[in-house]
Amino acid sequence: MTTSANAAGFAASIFDMDGLLIDSEILWHEAEIEILGDLGVPLAADGCRNTKGMFVEEVTEFWHEQYPWASPSPAEVAVTIVDRVIALVLAKGELKPGADHAIAMCVERELPMAVASSSQYRLIVAALDHFGLRQHFALIHSAEDEEYGKPHPAVFLTAASKLGADPRRCLVWEDAPAGVLAAKAASMACIAVPEHGEEGQSAFGLADLVLGSLLEMNEARWDEVVARHFTTAI
């Protein structure tokens, strides 16, 4: 079945990347623990979750304020972390279960798609190319072009503008609480797929649908999101 964007209700679909399309959260944790640990930051996986969804330079600034180090600068550390994450993604990264399925549902509905991520462009492009996903996306937009990262809605609003879509008719796919908050602040519908152990965070209560995996998405759930969002948003 193929339906037009108008019939589907949405005019565009916007995907987060890390932890949503690509199982990279653990790789971010590995890189941050390794690199920040060498600078004296006593970081573990639970601590990494405190900065989930932030732009990487916000992460290094955050930890520099908590545990100041002399050098290199937080900006330089951010570059090193991204370099390491790219290497880890290329070496052992995997797609999240159902990533292809979710993309296919949007293709079937003829929705233009974007990736709007807190990651830097070079990581987004490297990851999408590595997994053969880049061809599906009309737009890649990084929070590095924005003054504020998630949970500020700027990254999603800019993506919608560049796609020529009314924000109220955009569907966001997210895994992070900050991303859900950003999507709802932008007046967009949001499907959330929390990482294991994060399901209880209050931000997910704002999502139009919460899934355990992208594999759970189906026609009935799509219709549920459309009905819920457009009953309240427009």
Residues with catalytic roles: 16, 18
Handedness of CA 109, 162, 155, 81 (dihedral sign): positive
Paired sense of beta strands 113-117 and 170-174, if any:
unpaired
For 87, other C-beta atoms within 10 Å of its C-beta total 14
**Could you tell me the sign of the dihedral formed by the alpha carbons of 25, 30, 34, 37, in that order?**
positive
Please name which of 209, 170, 169 lies closest in space to residue 193, comparing C-alpha atoms.
209
| Cα–Cα nearest to 215, from 68, 104, 54, 80 | 104
Q: Spell out the alpha helix ranges (H) of 55-213.
A: 56-66, 74-92, 99-108, 121-130, 154-163, 177-185
Residue 186, both tokens: 């932008």
Strand partners, 13: 113, 171
In the numeric block, which tokens belong to residue 200?
């209880």
- Strand 113-117 vs strand 139-142: parallel, antiparallel, or unpaired? parallel
Residue ranges with strand state E in the chain: 12-15, 113-117, 139-142, 170-174, 189-192, 209-210
